[in-house]
Structures are given as C-alpha cells and as structure tokens.
C-alpha cells in the first residue's frame, strides 16, 4: 500500500500531501491514523519552519469514506481524548493548529465535510477558484465534529457558519474567500503556498513560533492574558540569537541568516 500521507522537507519547508488519490483522499480509519501520525512527526521536526498541506489527485479531500462510516467501529467511539483535548477524528484537523510552526493549506477540487474541517486547521488557506467547499455532515444526519465548530470560530461570521452547517451548501472559491473560509483564491494554490512557505521559512523561526502561539491564544484568552503573553514572548525573543542576528544583518545591510 502506498504511504497514505507523504512528507518531503526542503530548506525548512515540509511539503505534506494527502495520498489516497483513487478515493479523492477520503478518510477511512487508516487515513485518520496516517494524518495523525504525520502531525506527530512534524511536531518533532525541529528544522521545519513552515508546512504546506495539500492533496494528491483530483481534490484536497472529499471527507469521510462513507463505507467506513457505515461500518462504525473505531470511528463511532468519539468520547476518549486520545490527543490532548481532541479525539483521533478531531486531531486530523485540530492537530494542524497545535503544530508549533505555521501551516498553509493548498486546496483544489474538493474540500467537503471532514476535508473542509482539515483545511480549517491551517493558519493560512489558499484555494483554486473552482474548489467546492462544504460542511456536508447535515446530509448524513450528523454534526460537524472534526473540530469544525472550534476552528470556524473567529474565521466565519456566526450566522454564516450556522447556515453552512445547517444546510451542507457547497460554496466556490470566491465565496469562500469572501466569507473567511479561505484566506484567498489562487490560480495554482500549491505553488503559491510553497512560495509563501519559503518566505515564512526565511524569517526567524523563534519569532514565527511565538507569533503562532500568540494568535492561537488570542482565540481563547481575554485581553489581559494576551497582553501578558505578548510581553513574555517578546522578552524571550529580545534575549535570543535570532534578534541579535537580525540587528547584525541590519547594520551590515544584508539579509539575516537564522539558525535552527
């Protein structure tokens, strides 16, 4: 069997691809396990400064493999918290949010149901204009439970998020960008995502990880907690080698070179 999720790292950028193209990357138990394992691997890769997540074949991910859903089994046991705050099903989407480095989703073809929710776990989401995006669970008598509700918060206006969940309506790339489901439309989302990831990888990795921690905190905490966290992160950065290198480079009028 081909590797379900592939990871290739070059110059600090991890190119991660969902690799079940014959099923448009539909999620069966093996695919859930492979994505969670890939997230675990990435979390331990100190040299990775940015991640690009995309799908092989005709689409990003069409969601749950319905044959797996009808079979029940492990996917029907959702109570145990197997990955911190999340269960395995939620981890395939929520896990991208918990990675220390920025994650960019490059989406084409379809991002439906669980596939849409995996996309929402990324820090930045680029999609092709003709991508079809939807929370499909209502069609199967279910609610979005792949961390979708937690991830939609702060991205999409509450009433629009409810409409999408209640109806299962598909939206195209342009509407998705207009309402906040994606960051922007790109003619070639993977190429643009890789270019953006390389630009991020050229920045201070300590600063990028601090930024991500602060933005993640901003979704949960009150203003006093965020202000205290800003100060703590900045104190650590001011005392660190990346800041010193940036100052040296500025004085010498050259691009800074940050070490992992």
Q: Which of 182, 186, 77 is nearest to 122 (CA)?
A: 182
Mean predicted confidence (pLDDT) in 202-220:
95
pLDDT at 4: 97
pLDDT of 54 strictly over 90:
yes
For residues 260 and 205, the answer to whether their CB atoms sit within 8 Å is yes
pLDDT at 80: 81
* The pair of three-digit structure tokens given for residue 108, joined into one six-digit string: 């084409």
The kind and range of the H/E element at 110 are: strand 110-112
* The pair of three-digit structure tokens given for residue 218, joined into one six-digit string: 């901003």
Q: Which of 28, 35, 108 is nearest to 74 (CA)?
A: 28
For residues 114 and 27, the answer to whether their CB atoms sit within 8 Å is yes
Measured in Å, how far apart are the chain's first and last C-alpha atoms?
35
Q: Write down how long the chain is.
A: 260
pLDDT of 79 strictly over 70:
yes
Does the 205-252 domain belong in CATH 1.10.12?
yes
Q: Which of 242, 217, 212, 243 is nearest to 229 (CA)?
A: 217
pLDDT at 194: 98
Q: What is the pLDDT of residues 87-143, one digit of tens each?
A: 999 999 999 999 999 999 999 999 999 999 999 999 999 999 999 999 999 998 888
Beta-carbon contacts of 232 under 8 Å, excluding residues fewer than 6 positions away, are none
Q: What is the pLDDT of residues 17-37, one digit of tens each?
A: 999 999 999 999 999 999 999
Residue 196 Cα to chain centre, angstroms: 14
For residues 185 and 127, the answer to whether their CB atoms sit within 8 Å is yes
pLDDT at 74: 58
Q: What is the pLDDT of residues 168-181, one digit of tens each?
A: 999 999 999 999 99
Q: Which of 214, 206, 211, 212 is nearest to 256 (CA)?
A: 206
* The pair of three-digit structure tokens given for residue 86, joined into one six-digit string: 């999340």
Q: What is the pLDDT of residues 144-196, one digit of tens each?
A: 999 999 999 989 999 999 999 999 999 999 999 999 999 999 999 999 999 99
Same fold, 5-201 and 205-252: no
pLDDT of 73 strictly over 60:
no
pLDDT at 58: 97
pLDDT at 156: 95
Q: Which of 140, 125, 7 is nearest to 63 (CA)?
A: 140
pLDDT at 72: 53
How far is 94 from 132, CA to CA, in rounded Å?
A: 21
Residue 51: strand pairing partners: 14, 103
pLDDT at 146: 94
pLDDT at 128: 98
Q: Taking all residues of the chain, what is their mean pLDDT, rounded to a whole number?
A: 94
Percent of the chain topping pLDDT 90: 87
Q: Where are the domains of the chain?
A: 5-201, 205-252
How far is 226 from 24, CA to CA, in rounded Å?
A: 40
- Going by pLDDT thresholds of 50, 70 and 90, the confidence category of residue 81 is confident
* The pair of three-digit structure tokens given for residue 227, joined into one six-digit string: 């202000």
Could you tell me the pTM of the whole model? 0.94
| Architecture of the CATH domain 5-201 | Alpha-Beta Complex (3.90)
Buried b (16+ CB within 10 A) or exposed e, 192-219: bbbebbbebbbbbbbbbbbbbebeeeee
Mean predicted confidence (pLDDT) in 220-237:
94
């Amino acid at each position: 069997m081909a590797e379900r999720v592939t990871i290739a790292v070059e110059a600090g950028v991890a190119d991660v691809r969902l690799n079940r193209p014959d099923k448009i990357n539909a999620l069966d138990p093996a695919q859930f396990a492979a994505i969670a394992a890939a997230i675990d691997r990435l979390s331990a890769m100190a040299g990775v400064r940015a991640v690009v997540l995309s799908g092989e074949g005709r689409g990003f991910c069409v969601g749950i493999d319905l044959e797996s859903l009808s079979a029940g089994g492990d996917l029907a046991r959702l109570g145990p918290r197997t990955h911190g705050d999340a269960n395995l099903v939620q981890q395939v989407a929520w896990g991208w949010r918990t990675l220390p480095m920025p994650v960019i989703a490059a989406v084409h073809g379809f991002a439906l149901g669980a596939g849409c929710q995996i996309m929402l776990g990324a820090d930045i989401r680029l999609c092709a204009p003709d991508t079809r995006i939807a929370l499909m669970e209502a069609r199967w008598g279910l609610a979005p439970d792949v961390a979708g509700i937690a991830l939609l918060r702060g991205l999409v206006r509450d009433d629009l998020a409810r409409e999408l969940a209640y109806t299962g309506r598909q939206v195209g790339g342009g509407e998705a960008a207009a309402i906040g489901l994606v960051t922007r439309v790109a003619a070639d989302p993977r190429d643009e995502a890789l270019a953006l990831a390389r630009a991020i990888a050229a920045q201070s990795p300590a600063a990028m990880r601090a930024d991500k921690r602060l933005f993640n905190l901003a979704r949960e905490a009150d203003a006093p907690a965020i202000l205290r966290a800003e100060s703590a992160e900045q104190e650590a950065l001011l005392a660190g080698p990346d800041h010193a290198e940036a100052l040296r480079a500025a004085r010498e009028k050259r691009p800074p070179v940050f070490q992992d």
